[in-house]
Amino acid sequence: MEKREMLYEGKAKRVYKTDDEKLFVIEFKDDATAFDGKKKGTIHDKGILNNKISEGLYTMLEAQGIPTHFVKRLSDRDVLVKAVKIMPLEVLVRNIAAGSLTKRLGIPEGKQLPFTILEFCLKDDSLGDPQINEDHIRAMELATDEQVAEIKKYALKINELLSAFFKARGITLVDFKLEFGLYGDQVILADEISPDTCRLWDAATGEKLDKDRFRRDLGNVEEAYQEIFNRLDK
Rg (CA), the chain: 17
Q: Measured between alpha carbons, how far is 118 from 122 in angstroms, rounded to an integer?
A: 14
Q: Which of 43, 81, 92, 221 binds ligand UDP (CB under 6 A)?
A: 92
Tell me if 189 sits within 8 A of 69, measured CB to CB: yes
Closest to ligand UDP by CB, 56 vs 195, is 195
What pairing do the DSSP bridges indicate for beta strands 85-86 and 78-82? Answer: unpaired
Task: Give bridge partners of residue 187 from the DSSP assignment.
Answer: 182
For the CB of residue 80, give the shortest distance to ligand UDP in the complex, in Å.
22
For the CB of residue 40, give the shortest distance to ligand UDP in the complex, in Å.
15
- b/e per residue 124-160 (b: at least 16 CB within 10 A): eeeeebeebeeeebeeeebbeeebbebbeebbeebbe
Closest to ligand UDP by CB, 3 vs 190, is 190
Q: Which of 25, 77, 87, 175 binds ligand UDP (CB under 6 A)?
A: 175
Residue 14 found at the interface with ligand UDP (CB under 6 A)? no
For the CB of residue 175, give the shortest distance to ligand UDP in the complex, in Å.
4
Q: Measured between alpha carbons, how far is 171 from 224 in angstroms, rounded to an integer?
A: 12
For the CB of residue 35, give the shortest distance to ligand UDP in the complex, in Å.
7
Closest to ligand UDP by CB, 159 vs 226, is 159
Cβ neighbours, 10 Å, residue 168: 10
Backbone phi and psi for residue 93, each to the nearest 5 degrees, phi listed first: -120, 125
Helix (H, G, I), strand (E, B) or coil at 149: helix
Site string for ligand UDP, 193-212 (x = CB under 6 A): ----xxx-----------x-
Among the listed ranges 40-48, 70-78, 96-104, 145-153, the one in contact with ligand UDP (CB under 6 A) is 96-104
Residue 129 found at the interface with ligand UDP (CB under 6 A)? yes
Task: Give bridge partners of residue 14 from the DSSP assignment.
Answer: 9, 27
Q: Which of 13, 46, 177, 208 binds ligand UDP (CB under 6 A)?
A: 177
Site string for ligand UDP, 33-72 (x = CB under 6 A): ----------------------------------------
- 4, 20, 195 from 103: Cα distances, Å: 42, 45, 20
Residue 99 found at the interface with ligand UDP (CB under 6 A)? yes
Residues at the interface with ligand UDP (CB under 6 A): 90, 92, 98-101, 129, 175-177, 197-199, 211
